[in-house]
Structure 1
Amino acid sequence: MASNSICSRCLRLASQLPRNGNAGRESRRAFTTTAKQQPSRRRIHQSSNPRAPAVEGQRQQDSPVPPFSATRGRTVDQPATNPYDRALLQRHNLFHPFTNSPSPQIRKRAAIIRQNAYCPHPSHQPTRNPQSPHDAEGRKTGQMPPAHVRYECPDCGIPVSCSEEHFASDYESHLQICDTLRQINEDDHDLVSGRFFPEFQYPSSQIEEAQVNMTNWDTLLYSREFNAINDERSMRQATRLLTYPMTVGSVLHELSPYSLKQRLTPEGLRSLSALRYSLHPPRTGASTTMSGIRPNPPPIRLFILGARAESSLPREVWIQLSHLFPRVSFHLIFIGPESMANRDDEFPLPSRTPQNPYGAIVEDRLGGGMKVSTYVEYFHTLFEAQHFAPFDPYFDAFLLFHPGLGHPASSHEWAPTLPQLLSTKIPILCTGYTDFDMQRDIEWVKKEAGGEMDVLMEPGENRFRSLRWDLNDLDPGDVSCGNWGVWGFRGKRYEADEYRGAE
């Protein structure tokens, strides 16, 4: 039998047979129909790999059943039609105390909370100045020394008090956020459950005649032809990532839900009209033929300052922004000392050379007309070097996601940057975790700008905020969500008229 007429599996089986007198009989028996029909032996050309019956005494060692196995209650050959079927944790078994969680990641997070967070009971001494009117530190007026949290609430499973006595006496205040903390607990366990996440499969571009409806999350996902999300938890997981590109797109798009009747100021309409003129260019009749060659406009530059988590998002998430504006290209520029956080696979950083003086990490093969550059540097350093000059209000915009402009711990870092941002006269869009966070940033900007600023968009709740709540590991009572609110401003522009002499 020629070797080129035998498949690789048959040839490998024939080569492994013993070379003795019985080799001929064994090889003939291996290729007979009788051998193929043996139930205890796998067929040579069988594409599936059914599990062989385990030998008694070896079942517990060879194929142990995991404590949270999804195969319990159904046969092995039964197909998994539900994304939870192969998960380590089922949808009805997602709640676990952080300290005794089946996930080592969450157990490690519980250790961090117990090591850094303090008990919010009023009988303790304060450890810091309160950051907001709702901060639990403002209630501390006692004389007991500060104590770290040790007791986990049985309802939410998160360490919230130093002892059971303090938890019971202050249970009324904890009850206000207990349901939200339990939801955070289940959402965190859902991420590490090992299930398949169909909500993280994003659609590609669609025909331009299919207009996008940006009224809310439901209409946007439907008009963009996302996979149907019928579960609230899956919706929270999906919006946690999509909130960054969709927040930007909802403000800049010509079908934006924000108008003069919805928080947009006259100055904001003027600034955004310039950007929308470039984001929605008319058809030019361009094609791939020689006669269809047309000059392309420069890409829209979006400067994301103080980038942290948004710089490490999967690029498929940011490409959704280019699908909202299919006729233009984008250049996303992440700037900040923490812009490479959670991107350990890309270290060490590129060396600084005359061709790349600031060690930029460039990603230019993402598809969808998008390019991404990351600078582990402060913006005021790049601005003083005129690295991005000149700025054009028709093609540039600044994005600040949760910048903490007025936060006492970070306002000093933004002090040299704010005058430079105002001098560019470019729209600046900012988001905040809470209403108090936004108002604190607005007050700081007005104080530092000295009246040299125009509000483009009144502060308010973001229609495309994250529906998933996040927990502060340093303070379990501090609960927020990504991009809860959005507002905008820019440097004041003065209109000058020609002097025609005294009338």
Structure 2
Amino acid sequence: MRPSAPYTCKRCLNALQFGPRTTQYSLLSTRLALGRRTLTGACEKPRLATATQVKTQSSQKIAGRRTIASLGDQRQTAKDEPSEYRSPGGLASTPIPESEGRPLLMPNNLFHPFSSSPSPEIRRRAAFIKQNAYCPHPDHHQTRLPTSPNDPEARKSVKGSMPPKHVSFECPDCGIPVSCSEEHWADDYEAHLEICDTLREINEDDHDLRSGRFFPEFEYPGDQMEEAMINMTNWDTFMFSREFRAINDERSLRQATRLLTYPVTIGSVLHELSPYNIKKGGRLTVEGLKSLSALRYSLHPPRSGGGADIKGLRPTPPPMRIFILGARAESSLPREVWVQLAHLFPRVSFHLIFIGPESMTNRDAEFPLPERTPGNPFGAVVEDRLTNSLKISTFVEYYHTLHKAGHFYPYDPYFDCFVLFHPGLGHPASSHEWAETIPQLLETKVPIIVTGYTQYDMERDIKWVQETVGGEMDLLMHPGENRFRSLRWDLNDLDPQDISCGNWGVWAFRGKRYETMMKDTE
């Protein structure tokens, strides 16, 4: 029987009448695993504690777990599809309800150790971490060369007292495998405290994505009147001025920004109301003002006076082409996310071009790729019916191959822009892939927007570009923190000490322009 309306809200009435609502974005958002990683250091300031306090806390936790371990018959064993959850100590709690064959986790029940998680995906992830990640304790000798000053491998010696060993012990505070044994975890507890809170936050966010709840933060607004000004000071002002549904929970805000950081980062640099300007602290250089002024001239055209009748016909400018090179996770984003970029510039149309050998990752439903024909020589996947102002093309190919073929010529600084999300230009494992591409990008004289995981990652990329092309580049925007970075932290499964967030920093450059002047001979 349907409950009386005066005592039940409208949303609950709909849920009781039509059943719980589900969303397709929860699965898509959980598959945003970025391919390349750069090693970062601690993302939070360490808690101030003396060595005696740390040893005392560690001894108390170890004693407590040994007491609970005596209740071995009550400890839960991992199953493929658990119908109930037992706490890490082994005491049974209330069964977890299920929704559509998966466990439904409540907001106050999101923390679970990875190896005993209700989600089979997270349990498989825990097994992968234990098979590939190494213990960060300084007694082990190095497994590779450190890639940054904050790399945990820098704490180890080349010839340590112990050989490398995979992690197997899960920290009871964050629930993630971080050490090879309980003794090493307790001995290195002070160093682990620097990232323990962030790892626990990652744990809860991952379980939240698989909790089975409805995700209202993944519902995006449509067009709005042009007179409504967009405030790009930060995430809060942007979402308020764009009329997003109110998000009052920090976890929901982290989930929303994890997806929106890609289109909004591009829009925040190109928009006329961008927080990056020529003023003091605005990070924009004089050359950057020249390049971005050309793009903003095309992105914010005056009203043409066009109409639907014959008298109202007006010439239409070409679409704004945004080349996203080395595309990985951003190419598999829900298309509703990329439509938000078009809503920021309602008078122009966009053509997003994803280029890279991994640009079809997590898009298994679209395989096999189109055949390479004379009309489509590189087998592009074209999505041209998303909206009347957005078209997306995907090329599973290296950019330097397309550049040599002249596939996108000519380039126009008023209508073209390159974007590189976490390219790893200076990373030892990926720099060789960009050695041929970067000089070709500088030849186009088109702005190139680059993001990075950390300040060190960005500075390493800039140094590599300067060493590779010499003085043939102009810096358009100084490196610094991105105002629209992802607020959610990500974990590198190959190294649990490596935590990062998407698009933490942003900077820009282009090929150097040489201006000539005519000299009067008289």
What percentage of aligned pairs have identical amino acids? 73
Corresponding residue of 2:338: 318
Query: Which residue of structure 2 aligns with residue 244 of structure 1?
Result: 262
* Alpha carbons 1:128, 1:137 under 8 Å: kept: yes
* CA distance in 2: counterparts of 1:499 and 1:49, whole angstroms: 79
Paired residue for 1:209, among 219, 227, 233?
A: 227
> What secondary structure sits across from 1:276 in the alignment?
helix
Where does residue 94 of structure 1 map in the other structure?
A: 110
Task: Give the counterpart of 2:141 among 114, 119, 125.
Answer: 125
Match of residue 84 from structure 2 = 67
- Counterparts of residues 131-150 of structure 1 (less than 5 Å): 131-141=147-157, 142-150=160-168
Residues 277 and 148 (structure 1), Cα distance of their counterparts in 2 relative to 1, 3 Å cut: same
* Distance in 1, Cα, partners of 2:327 & 2:274: 25
In the superposition, relative to structure 1, how do residues 49 and 225 fare at CA in structure 2: closer, same or farther (>3 Å)?
closer
What's the RMSD between the two structures over aligned residues? 1.9
Match of 1:155 in 2: 173
For 1:362-390, what per-residue CA distance to the aligned partner results, in whole angstroms no more than 9, with x for missing partners? 00000150000000000000000000000
8 Å CA contact 2:103, 2:119 repeated in 1: no
CA contact (8 A) 1:319 1:368 kept: no
2:442 matched to which residue of 1? 422
Counting only pairs closer than 5 Å after superposition, residues 343-492 of structure 1 correspond to structure 2 as 343-492=363-512
> Could you tell me how far apart the structure 2 residues matched to 1:479 and 1:48 are?
43
Q: Which secondary structure state, in structure 1, belongs to the residue aligned with residue 393 of structure 2?
A: strand
The alignment covers a number of residue pairs equal to 429
SS at structure 1 position matched to 2:116: coil
Aligned partner of 2:197 in structure 1 is 179
Offset, 1:143: 2.7
The secondary structure found in structure 2 opposite 1:194 is coil
Question: Measured at CA, do residues 254 and 153 of structure 1 come closer, stay the same or move farther in structure 2, by a change above 3 Å?
Answer: same
Change (3 A) 1:139 1:354: same
Distance in 2 separating the partners of 1:260 and 1:252: 14
Task: Name the aligned partner's letter for residue 112 of structure 1.
Answer: F
Q: Deviations over 1:261-314 (max 9, x none)?
A: 200000000000000000000000112112111110000000000000000000
Hey, what's the Cα distance between the residues in 2 that align with 1:100 and 1:462? Answer: 36
AA in 1 matched with 2:229: Q
2:263 partner amino acid:
P
Structure 1 residue 470: deviation in Å? 0.3
Contact 1:156 1:182 (8 Å CA) reproduced:
yes
Query: 8 Å contact 2:83–2:103 — kept in the other structure?
Result: no
Q: 1:190 aligns with which of 208, 219, 227?
A: 208
Amino acid corresponding to residue 279 of structure 1 in structure 2: L
Unaligned runs of 5+ in 2: 1-15, 20-81, 86-92
Q: Of 292, 295, 306, which residue of structure 1 is paired with 2:312?
A: 292
Deviates more, 1:281-290 or 1:148-157: 281-290
* 1:67 maps to amino acid: E
TM-score normalised by length of structure 1: 0.83
Q: Deviations over 1:9-28 (max 9, x none)?
A: xxxxxxxxxxxxxxxxxxxx
- CA 1:49/1:495 → structure 2, altered by over 3 Å: closer, same or farther? closer
Kindly provide the CA deviation profile for residues 176-210 of structure 1, in whole angstroms up to 9, marking residues without a partner as x.
00000000000000000010000000000000000
Secondary structure in 2 matching 1:373: strand
The 1-side partners of 2:233 and 2:410 are apart by: 35
**Which consecutive segments of 4 or more residues in structure 1 shift more than 3 A?**
47-50, 65-68
Q: CA deviation at 1:67?
A: 3.3
How far is the alpha carbon of 1:98 from its aligned partner? 0.3
Contact 2:103 2:118 in 1 (8 A): no
Task: Indicate conservation of the 8 Å contact 2:425/2:461, yes or no.
Answer: yes
Cα deviation, residue 498, structure 1:
1.2
Q: Deviations over 1:466-498 (max 9, x none)?
A: 000000000000010000000000000011011
What do residues 108-130 of structure 1 show as CA deviations (whole Å, max 9, x unaligned)?
Answer: 11111001000000000100011
On the 8 A contact 1:465/1:483 being kept in 2, the answer is yes
1:227 corresponds to: 245
Structure 1 regions of 5+ residues with no counterpart? 1-46, 51-64, 77-82
2:294 to 274, 283, 303: 274
Distance in 1 between the 2:384 and 2:412 partners? 22
Of structures 1 and 2, the one with the larger relative CO (CA 8 A, separation 6+) is 2
User: 1:394 is paired with a residue of what secondary structure?
Assistant: coil
Instruction: Give the distance between the partners of 1:91 and 1:368, measured in 2 at CA.
Output: 39
